[in-house]
Amino acid sequence: MPCYSFILPYPPSVNGYWRAFRNRQIISKRGREYVKAVDSEMHRMNLHGKSLSCPIKFKMVINPPTLRSYDVDNFTKGVFDALSKCGFWVDDSQVKILTVIKGEKVKDGNVKIDVWKLD
């Protein structure tokens, strides 16, 4: 049974998360808006600032808003960065086991997250 189970908004793909600006890679407006949405959602669920510091097993089910084809590996970065920025864990390097699943199309899309502590 997961230690934490929650649903987050549908993330931008890694292609929409980063932008080049003055020869640097920065988080795009869409990426910054996603981080704010996750921060708000984590506050609402009382998971903001948990600061998990142990190794983690992480499962995410990506439920897209459309039937458009996509690569599952393009969505982990935005979710991981947002969870780091809201203080859910210390750093996404703690993820030792990662499972990413293509889910079903749902209105507005979302990502179902399950987290286990590995001690």
Give domain limits for the chain.
4-117
Question: What is the rounded distance in angstroms from the CA atom of residue 42 to the CA atom of residue 50?
Answer: 10
- 116 forms beta bridges with 57
Residue 2 has pLDDT above 80, yes or no: no
Could you tell me the pTM of the whole model?
0.90
The C-alpha atoms of residue 109 and residue 117 are separated, in whole angstroms, by: 27
- Cα gap 81→88, rounded to integer Å: 10
Q: Which CATH number fits domain 4-117: 3.30.1330.70, 3.40.50.1220, 3.40.250.10, 3.90.1150.10?
A: 3.30.1330.70
pLDDT digits (tens, 9 = 90+) for 38-88: 999 999 999 999 999 999 999 999 999 999 999 988 999 999 999 999 999
Structure tokens at 35: 């981080």
Task: Return the pLDDT at 38.
Answer: 97
Report whether pLDDT(34) > 90: yes
Q: Are 55 and 96 in contact (CB under 8 A)?
A: yes
Q: Confidence class of residue 24 from pLDDT cuts 50, 70 and 90?
A: confident
